[in-house]
Structure 1
Amino acid sequence: MMQAPTAEDDMTVVRVLVVDDDPLVRAGLAMMLDGAKGISVVAEAADGEEVPDAVNAHWPEVVLMDIRMPRMNGIEATRRLRARPNPPEVVVLTTFDSDDNVLNALRAGACGFLLKDSPPVDIVTAVLKAAAGEPILSPTITRRLMDRAATAAGAHERARQVLARLSPREHDVMLAIARGRSNAEIGADLFMSVATVKAHVTRILTKLEVGNRTQVALLAHDAGLA
């Protein structure tokens, strides 16, 4: 069995898996990302069913995932991938930012989304941010997505109950995460070191039983706090 690469193997390069059923789009993304400093495209996949084998074989830190694909779409593939131990971050790809499936992908565990016609620099930045655990979606985009969807019955109260698990200091950090603040910005706002912020973020994700900052922001919105 192939062993996961260690930090010593590839300390500064983010390993990326590109998943898209359109071979031209897939090849274009792979070529563009491979030419960016600090990124290496280690594998490609044509649909969601190919993702587990590709992840097992190549251990990417970030997966660029198309939403609309045959056999298994990007939402289900994201949900299954994020349920694994130590999963890679997932950034979903869509043709239109009005795609209602984007919100479902974020709830499934994607940390953000990109339009397929985004400028290359934006795609590179999103990949590097995803690998670093930094926010990709702005609070404005998160709210717009949430406001577009009807809130499920009881979602508000359930979100309030979940967020009640946090300590007062963790609650402050959670609100900053919901506002799209980076670790460095949260540290400056709340007079903490970046290391302390990271420790709080880790505890928040564990207590809320979510996989990334975007899902924290979605919970805060459901609770009426963002």
Structure 2
Amino acid sequence: MDKIKLLIVDDHAVVRQGLRGFLELTDEFDVVGEGANGLEAVSLAQELQPDVILMDLIMPEMDGIEATRRIKLANLDMKILILSSFGDENNVLPAIQAGALGYILKDIDPEELADAIRKTAQGKTQLDPEIANLLISHMQNDSKNNEQVNQKLSELTSRELEVLVQIGRGLSNKEIATELSISQMTVKTHVSNILSKLNLADRTQAAIFSIRQGLVPED
């Protein structure tokens, strides 16, 4: 099995070295590079083509939010997982809107961090519980009443609703395609339609919406 190629971006060398030391203890991860700021993150992302970028937010020259935005605008095929000490709305919302697939805090348990990286590499949204609650609260404040939410849901086809449920379960497009026995291209089309009909910005918001509306069955 191929190792997950990681790019670690943090302005503190001791943090980068600590993360590298821990992650390379296993045979799952290959830290292909380190960056000390957002500018280096963008350059190294293009040069090294990692599977996952572990991105800090508050850095000199260019912050992690702008770096994430530029990497996503360049259509680089890699996942970005924010690892930050800051879990406030002013940092979380712009990071998710910029295209980060997940957002976790630096007080995370090391084994949980490794698992979050694995799932991020699979295309699954990873959110610290505090971050998930913040995003849900934000969506609640911005949302209309339940009647309007139900009206939006009624606009979805039965297949789109099935896809929305799978997004809420954290499945990637490939996994949804397998689960529903349809092509990945069809899944991509359904996801696009879902975001448009529900007025959601991205897949992470769709996952939170699905969970918030009770569409995801408990295991």
Query: How far apart, in 1, do the equivalents of 2:151 and 2:9 lie?
Result: 36
Match of 1:109 in 2: 99
Which has the bigger relative contact order, CA under 8 A and spacing at least 6? Answer: 1
Match of 2:123 in 1: 133
* Aligned with 2:189 (options 175, 186, 203): 203
Change beyond 3 A, Cα 1:56–1:174: same
Change beyond 3 A, Cα 1:33–1:134: same
Matches within 5 A, 1:11-22: 12-22=2-12
TM-score for both structures, normalised by structure 1: 0.72
Change beyond 3 A, Cα 1:69–1:97: same
Number of matched residues? 203
Query: How far apart, in 2, do the equivalents of 1:146 and 1:194 lie?
Result: 26
Matches within 5 A, 1:171-182: 171-178=161-168, 180-182=169-171
Query: How far apart, in 2, do the equivalents of 1:172 and 1:149 lie?
Result: 21
Match of 2:132 in 1: 142
Gaps of 5+ in 1: 1-10
* Aligned with 2:72 (options 75, 78, 82): 82
Query: How far apart, in 2, do the equivalents of 1:51 and 1:148 lie?
Result: 29
Question: Which 4+ residue blocks in structure 1 deviate beyond 4 angstroms?
Answer: 138-141, 148-154, 159-166, 209-212
Match of 1:4 in 2: none
Change beyond 3 A, Cα 1:108–1:150: farther
Amino acid at match of 1:194: E
1:172 positional shift: 2.4
Change beyond 3 A, Cα 1:42–1:198: farther
RMSD over aligned CA atoms reads 3.6
Amino acid at match of 1:34: E
1:206 positional shift: 4.2
Identity %: 33
SS at match of 1:100: helix
Match of 2:35 in 1: 45
Matches within 5 A, 1:173-192: 173-178=163-168, 180-182=169-171
2:7–2:53: 8 Å Cα contact kept in structure 1? yes
Gaps of 5+ in 2: 215-219
1:123 positional shift: 1.1
Amino acid at match of 1:64: L
* Aligned with 2:114 (options 124, 147, 163): 124
1:146 positional shift: 3.6
Amino acid at match of 1:196: S
2:6–2:33: 8 Å Cα contact kept in structure 1? yes
Q: Deviations over 1:118-153 (max 9, x none)?
A: 111111111110111123237885343241578569
